[in-house]
Structure 1
Amino acid sequence: MGFSQALSGLNAASSQLDVVGNNIANSQTVGFKGSSVQFADVYAAKTGLGTRVSAVLQDFSNGALESSGRNLDLAIAGGGFFRMTQNDQVVYSRNGQLTMTPDGYLENAQGARLTGYPAGVGAGGQPQALQVPAAALEAKATTGVNASLNLDANSSSNPADQTQHASGNFSYNYANSSTVYDSLGNRHNVTMYFAKLEPDATANPPIGDNDWQVRTSIDGTLTGGDGQPQPLTFDSNGQLTGSDTLTYTFTHANGATNPQGVAFDFGGTTQYGNDFELSSLNQDGYTSGSMVGITIDDAGNVIGSYSNEESKVLGTIALANFRNPEGLKPVGDNAWVETTASGQALVGLAGSGMLGSIESGTVETSNVDLTKELVDLIIAQRNFQANSQTIKTQDEVMQGIVNL
């Protein structure tokens, strides 16, 4: 019986040496999770029959995050796994060292492709392999311009003191230009002319001391032939009253969509006794652009950057977690598959629930403590040697009995 007990100890110690050796071998493997051996005794009647390996448990504690400076290196700060597809199988990994294939898929060195949600779908859809489109960003016609400025309350309303427009049809106090884009992405220069009106109580409606008029031209041509004059009215405190949005209609001769209506929002515009000042001006259109690169934010959004200085969310990375991560089955290549012991994958977006955030330009190192593993290696070696000594002792006892 002593031989079988010692043999069980040798087998158990050998398994421990295998696990510790594997941990040490993968101490520099990105996303690797170390394992430990659990033993149980084998008992029968009055004397134990030895030991056995009851389980090899995986340690899913987080490894240290290290900066790599490469934007396609990803790490999860917190719980969760990257959800990937490999050979028509869904696998889970903590290794986010990715490259982009010629057809735009994000995959690791083993060919496992990162999955996520297409742009605009969110977590309500079925995760699929993320693919970065190579197509250029289509042009977007301008639909709105936001302008915030101050019109000098001391400006003269006398046309003789104002600047005469080249057309000779009107005069103005101030002019300011902005850019709009048509449906083909062509850029157009729009000039806004601000004129303070002379008070006229007999007009319909009456013109007060704080009434202004705005006209526009596009590429030097007055909108609608006369600039489409529209009013801006201020109260005695210099604040806009009534509507602060004026809509102008532009026409193009280049095949773009006609007419193009653009709403000019003058919210925040004032009439104080200061010089004319433009504090902000922006619009929502842009020309087409070619992709120049991608970035990934901490929410897992894959963002494309384009040559027209615009950006667009192309998709969102899906993460997964499990009730019992220790129940996952390792399949090699830093990957695991779900089992009945792990439970079903809980899939969602980074930063939600039990899922951590995504760190770009960062990798998660192995969680193996090399110092501890070397100590465990010595202990396992001594355990193996002790069981070998047990066999040697049993052999000597048996030899003595035979000699009798």
Structure 2
Amino acid sequence: MLSVTMAALNASQKEMNVTSNNLANASTVGFKRSYANFGDVFSNDPASNPKTAVGAGVLLTSVARDTTAGALKATGRVTDLAIDGRGFFVTRDPAGTANTYSRAGNFSLDAQGFVVDPGGFQVMGFNDIAGTNSADLKPVQIPPVIDYTDADAEGVPLAGPDNGNPEELSLLQRFANPNGSGKIVLQGISISPKGEVQATYSDNKTYTLRFLAIGSFPNDGGLKATGNNRYTETGLSGAANLSIPGAPKAGNIMSGTLEQANVDITNELMDMIRSQQVYNGNARMLQTTIETVSRITDKI
């Protein structure tokens, strides 16, 4: 009896921990709630009679993730993005060594104009709509200023800001300054439902800089959570299928919008009350068992 009661207490405590984490993240952008799965335990004694076997308690079998989309909330900020449909934003760690995936689109521009998440992970995209593999991924950068210190007759910069990053020089060559020198300054940004990132500069021209990348998986629930609303692929999730927004199995982008947590506070509180009642009931059972054993021991 003691082992059954202890197993029940342990299971109830873990369920309350899961529910508490859901409630704590009810306001976290793009958060996906978790839920506990339990299984009953029976005696594994081969001599036991299956007709009279008594259960041996309960066991936490898994903590699964609810991958359904949360509600969408308009913010009016261009770099706040939500995916209307399946898929994840593709981000890369500051060291540039590994891709991570997220539904949280609360992005901003850093000092160099890279689109980043709150942890500094760069949002990835493609140069054009044909990009479909990891080798084609490039950081999404929207330079705040393009400085033409010199240019040829066609306006292609011969010298300019160069920090040794070939990708930065490639990006600068997308622009053409008819004056041959000087600066153009960022005036505005737009991001289309198909993930086309466009920037308008003080030369009154609008340039397409990147197409956002979307990663989709055969099994979203198999992704490994790494914290800060980021996930990495696993054998259970299957390999990422990279595409632009709007492709098969990839939703469209909604700029100026964020996906909220898929946590229903009322349901979570009801789950917490139920788990607490189960815990309290088993705690009383444990106390009764201890008192009974103590009385029996005293009489021996």
- Equivalent of 2:247, from 352, 358, 363? 352
Residues 75 and 95 of structure 1 are in contact (CA less than 8 Å); yes or no, is this contact kept in structure 2?
A: yes
Q: How does 1:58-137 map to 2 (within 5 A)?
A: 58-86=65-93, 87=95, 88-119=97-128, 122-123=131-132, 126-133=136-143, 134-135=145-146
Q: Which has the higher helix share?
A: 2
Residues 115 and 128 of structure 1 are in contact (CA less than 8 Å); yes or no, is this contact kept in structure 2?
A: yes
Name the TM-score, length of structure 2 as normaliser.
0.81
Question: Structure 2: how far apart are the matches of 1:287 and 1:370?
Answer: 57
Query: Hey, what does 2:193 align to over in structure 1?
Result: 298
- Equivalent of 2:229, from 334, 338, 351? 334
Q: How does 1:189-200 map to 2 (within 5 A)?
A: none
Residues 95 and 334 of structure 1 are in contact (CA less than 8 Å); yes or no, is this contact kept in structure 2?
A: yes
> In structure 2, what residue type is equivalent to 1:118?
N
Query: Hey, what does 2:264 align to over in structure 1?
Result: 369
Residues 77 and 359 of structure 1 are in contact (CA less than 8 Å); yes or no, is this contact kept in structure 2?
A: yes
For residue 129 of structure 1, report the CA deviation from its aligned partner: 1.9
Percentage of pairs with the same residue:
33
Q: How many residues align?
A: 260
Residues 223 and 233 of structure 2 are in contact (CA less than 8 Å); yes or no, is this contact kept in structure 1?
A: yes
Q: Which has the higher strand share?
A: 1
Q: How does 1:204-215 map to 2 (within 5 A)?
A: none
For residue 47 of structure 1, report the CA deviation from its aligned partner: 2.4
> In structure 2, what residue type is equivalent to 1:15?
K
Residues 318 and 350 of structure 1 are in contact (CA less than 8 Å); yes or no, is this contact kept in structure 2?
A: yes
Question: Structure 2: how far apart are the matches of 1:21 and 1:70?
Answer: 31
Unpaired runs of 5+ residues, structure 2, are 157-175
Question: Structure 1: how far apart are the matches of 2:147 and 2:72?
Answer: 35
Unpaired runs of 5+ residues, structure 1, are 138-181, 186-284
For residue 120 of structure 1, report the CA deviation from its aligned partner: 6.8
Question: Structure 1: how far apart are the matches of 2:259 and 2:155?
Answer: 45
Query: Hey, what does 1:21 align to over in structure 2?
Result: 20
Q: How does 1:180-191 map to 2 (within 5 A)?
A: none
For residue 290 of structure 1, report the CA deviation from its aligned partner: 3.8
Name the TM-score, length of structure 1 as normaliser.
0.61
Question: Structure 2: how far apart are the matches of 1:342 and 1:100?
Answer: 30
Q: 1:132 to 1:120 in 2, by over 3 A?
A: farther
For residue 107 of structure 1, report the CA deviation from its aligned partner: 0.5
Asked if 1:392 is matched to 2:284, the reply is no
Residues 39 and 55 of structure 1 are in contact (CA less than 8 Å); yes or no, is this contact kept in structure 2?
A: yes
Query: Hey, what does 1:41 align to over in structure 2?
Result: 40
For residue 122 of structure 1, report the CA deviation from its aligned partner: 3.6
> In structure 2, what residue type is equivalent to 1:130?
V
Question: Structure 2: how far apart are the matches of 1:286 and 1:327?
Answer: 49
Secondary structure at the counterpart of residue 97 of structure 1: coil
Query: Hey, what does 1:281 align to over in structure 2?
Result: none
RMSD: 2.2
- Equivalent of 2:204, from 309, 318, 321? 309
Secondary structure at the counterpart of residue 123 of structure 1: coil
Query: Hey, what does 2:296 align to over in structure 1?
Result: 401
For residue 400 of structure 1, report the CA deviation from its aligned partner: 2.9
Residues 290 and 307 of structure 1 are in contact (CA less than 8 Å); yes or no, is this contact kept in structure 2?
A: yes
Query: Hey, what does 1:199 align to over in structure 2?
Result: none
- Greater C-alpha Rg: 1
Q: How does 1:151-230 map to 2 (within 5 A)?
A: none
Query: Hey, what does 1:198 align to over in structure 2?
Result: none
Q: 1:336 to 1:120 in 2, by over 3 A?
A: closer
> In structure 2, what residue type is equivalent to 1:129?
P
